[in-house]
Amino acid sequence: MLSSIVLAAGFSSRMGRPKALLEWGGEPLIAYHVHQLREAGADEIIVVLGHRGDEIQRGMRGHNLECRVMLNSLFQLGRASSLRLGAKAVSRDADAIIITSVDQPRPAEFVRNLAAAYKPARSGVRPVHNGHHGHPIVLSGNLREELMAATEESDGLLAVVRAHESELDDFPTSDDLLSLDINTPDDYQAALRRFGFAR
């Protein structure tokens, strides 16, 4: 079983409005994530919301989203709190877990190929471009409890990755997608151009 967690609980302070609701090819960015993950083969999609979560949920309506939404009331404590909540919601039967952030959109083909590169005997696989690792990352379902125990003090997801560094495979990519991270309005416009969505 392939599960996935989309982290979308942050303040979006540099953007000035919820990133999850940014228009993205005719749908909200969060809807794009869910549709691409489903197309990539994810059996289960957990979306973790926090800041302006009710507004984002309303914006998700009408987009045929097969996902489970978790509202993180502690989102202000940091990203690790959302990771814990998402991991707790993941099925115990998950063989692998895709972890991605709402501000790092990736097309289904990219995610599908990354997930296909995961080897069950290993702890996970992560994309790498020009020597730099990026997201999303695919981790073994066996690490679910470690993800549930992640804390800001221990660097959250990064701590889990560090603990299993030698057991993670690289997924080399020549694509510059890994540098795409939407934090500001300028980033957003650049990302729209990169995906061919700019008007």
pLDDT at 146: 97
Q: Is the pLDDT of residue 199 over 80?
A: no
pLDDT at 154: 84
pLDDT at 10: 93
Q: What is the dihedral of CA 45, 36, 100, 179, to 10 degrees?
A: 180
Q: Is 4 exposed, middle or buried (0-12, 13-18, 19+ CB in 10 A)?
A: buried
Tell me how far apart the alpha carbons of residues 98 and 150 are, in angstroms, rounded to a whole number. Answer: 16
What DSSP state is assigned to residue 141?
A: G
Give 10-59 pLDDT, tens digit per residue. 999 999 999 999 999 999 999 999 999 999 999 999 999 999 999 999 99
Q: Closest by alpha carbon to 70, among 105, 96, 44?
A: 44
Q: Give the pairing type, strands 96-101 and 68-71.
A: unpaired
Give 53-93 pLDDT, tens digit per residue. 999 999 999 999 999 999 999 999 899 999 999 999 999 99
Q: How many CA atoms lie within 13 A of 172 on its CB side?
A: 3
Average pLDDT, the chain: 95
Contact by Cβ (8 Å): 47, 98: no
Q: Residues 170-193: what's their mean pLDDT?
A: 92
Q: Is the pLDDT of residue 152 over 90?
A: no
| Structure-block tokens of residue 155 | 């660097």
What pTM was computed for the model?
0.96
